[in-house]
């Protein structure tokens, strides 16, 4: 029996501009997030599962099954270094203490989508170049589930 052909969607795109995306860290008040100031780039938010080799002596090709434990990626972020910004100072403090915190990203899409996750800061750096702005970058190792929701 032949496969049913697929057809491309003629609907207008739902793509959106990411200008206005915010990442925040949970404050001392649970559920309240403080934006990290002047972030200019948020890397790929992702998670993966490990494949387990299930090949056997009768296999003609490698066979795999999915593992049960998801692993969050390291999320790379960068922005303008603002020396007196409390939200940026907290990043260094959390790195030194190994603190696990909840973070939330809010996108300016038509559905007001956000994603909350638990993470540990794994590195922090400051960049200084001739005739350029001072920048900083840091990485968050996601150590919990990605929880997508909407905000109002």
Report pLDDT for 8: 85
Q: Write out pLDDT tens, residues 54-74.
A: 999 999 999 999 999 999 999
The answer to whether residue 85 sits within a structural domain is yes
The answer to whether residue 99 sits within a structural domain is yes
The answer to whether residue 12 sits within a structural domain is no
Q: At 2, phi and psi to the nearest 5?
A: -70, 155
Averaged pLDDT of the chain = 95
Tell me the three state secondary structure of residue 87: helix
What pTM did the predictor assign? 0.88
Report pLDDT for 21: 98
The answer to whether residue 32 sits within a structural domain is yes
The answer to whether residue 135 sits within a structural domain is yes
Q: What angle do CA 23, 85, 101 make, to 5 degrees?
A: 45
The answer to whether residue 56 sits within a structural domain is no
Report pLDDT for 15: 94
Domain range spanning residue 95?
22-46+74-150
Burial class of residue 16 (count of CB atoms within 10 Å of its CB; 0-12, 13-18, 19+) = middle
Indicate the pLDDT class of residue 39, thresholds 50, 70 and 90: very high
The answer to whether residue 124 sits within a structural domain is yes
Residue 147 has pLDDT above 90, yes or no: yes
The answer to whether residue 51 sits within a structural domain is no
Residue with tokens 């434990």: 69
Output Rg (C-alpha) for the chain, integer angstroms: 20
Residue range 78-95: mean pLDDT, rounded: 96
Give which of 10, 3, 144, 11 is closest to 71, Cα–Cα.
Answer: 144
Helical ranges in the chain per DSSP H: 86-97
Q: How many domains does the chain have?
A: 1
Give which of 51, 84, 77 is closest to 65, Cα–Cα.
Answer: 51
- What is the domain-level CATH number for residue 129? 2.40.10
């Amino acid at each position: 029996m032949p496969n049913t052909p697929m057809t491309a969607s003629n609907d207008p795109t739902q793509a959106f501009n990411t200008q206005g995306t915010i990442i925040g860290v949970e404050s001392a008040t649970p559920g309240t997030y403080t934006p990290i100031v002047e972030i200019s780039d948020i890397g790929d938010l992702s998670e993966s599962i490990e494949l387990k080799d299930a090949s056997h002596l009768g296999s003609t090709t490698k066979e795999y099954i999915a593992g049960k434990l998801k692993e969050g990626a390291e999320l790379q972020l960068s922005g303008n270094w603002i020396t007196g910004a409390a939200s940026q100072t907290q990043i260094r403090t959390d790195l030194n203490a190994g603190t696990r915190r909840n973070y939330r990203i809010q996108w300016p899409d038509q559905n007001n989508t956000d994603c909350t996750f638990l993470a540990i800061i794994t590195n922090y750096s400051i960049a200084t170049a001739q005739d350029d702005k001072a920048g900083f970058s840091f990485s968050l190792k996601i150590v919990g589930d990605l929880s997508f929701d909407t905000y109002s």
